[in-house]
């Protein structure tokens, strides 16, 4: 029953149709939240007592870092669906999410490096959190490269899914690196179990920025996946009808 | 909560010497995200045109 449910709601055709309708709303809401969060954080949130104004990078760095990990987690769920139930759409979504993951992980690494200059006095340190995030960036690139190196798309999908599942071990390492090792990187500012360690005047714009970044990445993901699916299935009748 | 945190616009831009770091990061991120949307949108339009031509 579960298998038939998954197969019914995971056809590339219905995915493209539903997401095409949702896209403008997701993009508008994402950009609006991101603009609100950033303007609030940059202009109206108070200055940090220790870091001064350089802490304002948090409204970009934290959402980007969270999304870098969430996108990979999403890809690993898709990889399991592809390997266990042979869901074709799941493989398409992995391939589409990987370039979005590359971009957002680059933003996380870049913003962290720039933030490190005034805060730590260095733009790079082989610290557990930064190194594991760099590994995540390399994993994303590896997934794209692996898929592109096969001419047989089905075989590429399967091998890519296996690599994604193997690489998911890095996600808890990134998350827990600041607790497991003594690192230069500060501990999490927001935790599900311990709540937030930052003032509400900073927490509200940060939460809005995270929400906005998530929706913006979903909107970009919708666009990339549509491009990939139409390209991959261009010989199918429904694609001809769709355009 | 919605009080402007700086004395004037110049102060907002310089951010006590931290402005260069803050603005660089936001500018690069915004550009990357915006360019990604534009590139994918352009590729999608090209593909759609190609598929439409193939249909005719």
Q: What is the pTM of this model?
A: 0.94
pLDDT value at residue A1: 66
* A111, A231, A239 ranked by CB distance to B25: nearest: A111
pLDDT value at residue A191: 67
pLDDT value at residue A183: 77
- Report the chain A residue with the minimal C-alpha distance to residue B23: A57
Q: Chain B: nearest CA to A3, how far in angstroms?
A: 32
pLDDT value at residue A184: 79
Task: Report whether pLDDT(B47) > 80.
Answer: yes
Bridge partners of residue A52, in order along the sequence: A48
In 3-state terms, what secondary structure has residue A208? helix
pLDDT value at residue A80: 97
Q: Which strand (E) or helix (H) includes residue A23?
A: helix A12-39
Q: Is the dihedral of CA A229, B37, A20, A222 positive or negative?
A: positive
Q: B2 vs A114: CB contact, 8 Å cut-off? A: no
Question: Exposed (0-12), middle (13-18) or buried (19+): which is B51, by Cβ within 10 Å?
Answer: middle
Report chain A residues whose CB lies below 8 A from the CB of B19: 53
For chain A, 243 residues long, the average pLDDT of each consecutive 10-residue run is 70 93 97 97 94 96 97 97 94 98 98 95 92 97 96 95 96 90 76 74 95 98 97 90 80
pLDDT value at residue A241: 83
pLDDT value at residue A193: 66
Per-residue buried b or exposed e for A131-161, using 16+ beta carbons within 10 Å of the residue's own CB: bbbeebbebbbbbbebbeeeeeeeebbbbbb
Q: Which residues of B touch A (CB under 8 A)?
A: 1-6, 12, 15-19, 21-22, 24-26, 28-29, 32-33, 36-37, 40-41, 43-44, 47-48, 51-52, 55
Quickly state the pLDDT bin for B54 (edges 50, 70, 90).
Answer: confident
- Please report, for chain A, the start and end positions of each structural domain, with discontinuous segments joined by +: 60-184+196-233
pLDDT value at residue A197: 75
Measure the CA–CA gap between A38 and A41, rounded to whole angstroms.
5
ipTM: 0.94
Report chain A residues whose CB lies below 8 A from the CB of B1: 44, 201, 204
Quickly state the pLDDT bin for B2 (edges 50, 70, 90).
Answer: confident
Q: Which residues of A touch B (CB under 8 A)?
A: 38, 40, 42-47, 52-54, 56-57, 60-61, 64, 100, 103, 106-107, 110-111, 114-115, 117-118, 201, 204, 216, 219-220, 223-224, 226-227, 230-231, 234, 239-240, 243
Measure the CA–CA gap between A221 and B1, rounded to whole angstroms.
34
């Amino acid at each position: 029953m579960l298998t038939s449910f998954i197969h019914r709601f995971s056809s590339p055709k219905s995915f493209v149709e539903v997401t095409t309708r949702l896209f403008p709303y997701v993009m508008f809401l994402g950009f609006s939240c991101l603009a609100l969060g950033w303007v609030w954080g940059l202009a109206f949130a108070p200055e940090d007592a220790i870091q001064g104004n350089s802490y304002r990078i948090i409204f970009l760095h934290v959402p980007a870092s969270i999304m870098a990990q969430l996108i990979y987690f999403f890809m690993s769920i898709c990889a399991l669906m592809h390997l266990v139930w042979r869901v074709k759409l799941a493989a398409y979504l992995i391939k589409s999410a990987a370039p979005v993951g590359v971009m957002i992980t680059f933003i996380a690494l870049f913003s962290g490096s720039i933030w490190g200059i005034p805060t730590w006095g260095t733009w790079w340190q082989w610290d557990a959190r930064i190194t594991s995030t760099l590994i995540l960036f390399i994993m994303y690139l590896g997934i794209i490269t692996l898929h592109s190196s096969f001419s047989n798309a089905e075989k590429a999908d399967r091998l890519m899914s296996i690599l994604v599942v193997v690489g998911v071990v890095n996600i808890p390492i990134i998350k827990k690196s600041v607790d497991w090792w003594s690192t230069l990187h500060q501990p999490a500012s927001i935790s599900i179990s311990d709540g937030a360690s930052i003032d509400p005047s900073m927490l509200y714009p940060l939460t809005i920025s995270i929400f906005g970044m998530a929706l913006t990445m979903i909107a970009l993901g919708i666009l990339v996946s549509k491009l990939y699916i139409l390209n991959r299935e261009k010989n199918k009748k429904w694609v001809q009808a769709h355009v | 909560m919605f009080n402007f945190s700086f004395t004037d616009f110049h102060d907002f831009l310089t951010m006590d010497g931290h402005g260069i770091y803050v603005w660089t990061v936001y500018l690069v991120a915004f550009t990357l995200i915006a360019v990604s949307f534009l590139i994918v949108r352009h590729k999608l339009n090209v593909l759609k045109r190609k598929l439409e031509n193939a249909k005719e």
